[in-house]
Structure 1
Amino acid sequence: MSIEQKQKQIEATLRLAPVVPVVIIHDARAAVPMARALVAGGVPAIEVTLRTPAALDAIRAIAEEVEGAMVGVGTVLSAKDLRAAHKAGARFAVSPGVSPGLLDAADDSDLPLLPGVATAGEAMTLLERGYHHLKFFPAVPAGGHKLLGAWASPLPQIRFCPTGGISLTNAQDFLTLPNVLCVGGSWLTPADKLESGDWAGIERLAREAAALRGA
């Protein structure tokens, strides 16, 4: 699959909802009811981060059992991570930054990658390699919506999914920018709700996030 085809898949994924939940999951048994709650709330693209031993099992369970979910993998740092996530059933991959090895592995993989950048120079480097859709991370510490908005004019070819420090209270600052397709955030799946099995609460948070579209 060409980089152009994979970037089109990334764009389609980012346009599914205004927010991509960034999930840190410690118990894979929670993955399916959590994902069903997110999908029911109107947020079908789900990024499960490789920050816990349960992550790959969670991705596999969501991919196999949750209709309507577009499950992806986050915190991809290496070619090994990319291969394991693809094998588990991930539909897209997200990295906090990039390395030559990871980009080479992404070129050889059919798993679409959303690579992370924090500077205009990094964005330009990825643009040269055919990436037009990028993650801006860590969004708030790196300069927030004002910095990202300033990139819209000199880098009009690029669309972003900012992640890092974003919540319901500041998401709209990013979503109103012309170069932002969606935001990523962990507030939709807080640890206390995952641990207690409060799937109705997660669905409510997803509905609040989905309502940001077009606001």
Structure 2
Amino acid sequence: MIASKRQQQTEALLSSAGILPVVAVDTLDQARGVANALLEGGLPVVELTLRTPVAMEALATLKKELPGFAIGAGTVLTIDQIGQCVGAGADFLVTPGTPAHMAEALVAAPIPVVPGAASPTELLTLLNLGFHVCKLFPANAVGGLQMIKGLHGPVPQLKLCPTGGITEATAADYLAQPNVVCIGGSWMVPKQWITAGDWTSIRDTAARAAQIVKDVRAA
């Protein structure tokens, strides 16, 4: 499968990140502030969601200004957005779910993809298309750790990036699972800190998140 050729890149990228901050910004200045704070805290990979009007411009701007910062375009919902994100310089794509028409387009995408799913059936469908690295979303709502542990036995080759409802307090438990390659979360980039420009709090929380990854992997 074409998709599987890029999945090794996807797995390597997410594994190197450990924790993927899920970010939404309303201005370019917010995008710059968040990106620099995350980098200073030790989180060099981010999912920038397409939930605001400025998101695509922010993606392109950050890729020009911070070429060493790996930026995934998140909340990709349409085929048109796939092309726009690639054109803006996205390093990878993340979807909250993967209907059939999107799956076909993601298979053909020229960059790494983290397709979203919420059930074993959806995950197996994606696996059959060559996607062995998938986003489990909304993770906490669909079973969280119990779901992840339950999937490992019958489908050990499936690697997951659970996102949705994970907190600083639960991050280590998720990361410790053998079939979790990375976790997504927004606890280090809450809306109120971004709006207030509280980059120090974001940097410090990002640093704690980066330390969680180190501690879990050293255990």
Q: In structure 1, what is the Cα distance between the partners aligned to 2:34 and 2:50?
A: 17
Task: Please name the residue that 1:126 is paired with.
Answer: 126
Alignment partners' CA distance in 2, 1:9 and 1:57: 25
Quote how far apart the aligned CAs of 1:108 are. 2.4
Q: Matched residues in 2 for 1:38 and 1:2: separation?
A: 33
1:67 shift after superposition? 4.1
Amino acid at match of 2:179: N
Map of 1:78 onto structure 2: 78
Map 1:155-170; keep pairs closer than 5 Å. 155-170=155-170
What is residue 110 of structure 1 aligned with on the other side?
110
Tell me the C-alpha RMSD between the 2 structures. Answer: 1.4
Residue 203 (structure 1) shift: 0.9
- In 1, the alpha carbon distance for the partners of 2:111 and 2:84 equals 11
Q: In the aligned structure 2, how far is the partner of 1:28 from the partner of 1:11?
A: 29
Q: 2-side partners of 1:27 and 1:137: how far apart? A: 26
TM-score by length of 1: 0.96
What is the CA-CA distance between 1:174 and the residue it aligns to?
0.9
Aligned-partner SS, 1:48: strand
Structure 2 letter corresponding to 1:53? P
1:91 aligns with 2:83: no
8 Å Cα contact 1:137-1:164 kept in structure 2: yes
Percent identity, aligned pairs only, is: 39
Indicate conservation of the 8 Å contact 2:60/2:89, yes or no.
Answer: yes
Q: Does 1:50 align with 2:74?
A: no
Divergent runs of 4+, >4 A: none
Q: Could you tell me whether the CA contact under 8 Å between 1:25 and 1:54 is conserved in 2?
A: yes
- Per-residue deviation, 1:145: 0.6
Count, aligned residues:
215
Specify every segment of 5 or more residues in structure 1 that has no aligned partner in the other structure, as ranges: none
User: 1:48, 1:73 within 8 Å by CA — same for their partners in 2?
Assistant: yes
Residue 146 of structure 1 pairs with residue 157 of structure 2: no
TM-score, reference length from structure 2: 0.94
- Secondary structure of residue in 1 paired with 2:20: strand
How far the C-alpha of 1:179 sits from its partner, in A, is 0.3
CA distance in 2, matches of 1:197, 1:79: 33
Q: Deviations over 1:137-162 (max 9, x none)?
A: 00000001111111101001111000
Contact 2:138-2:162 within 8 A present in 1 as well? yes
Residue 187 of structure 2: SS of its match in structure 1? Answer: coil
Q: Which residue of 2 aligns with 1:135?
A: 135
- Residues of 2 paired with 1:59 and 1:67: CA distance? 11
State the one-letter code of the partner of 2:35.
A
CA distance in 2, matches of 1:200, 1:36: 10
User: Structure 2 counterpart of 1:74, which letter?
Assistant: G
Q: Please, which runs of 5 or more residues in structure 2 have no aligned partner?
A: none
- Which residue type is aligned with residue 211 of structure 2? A
- Does the alignment pair 1:66 with 2:66? yes
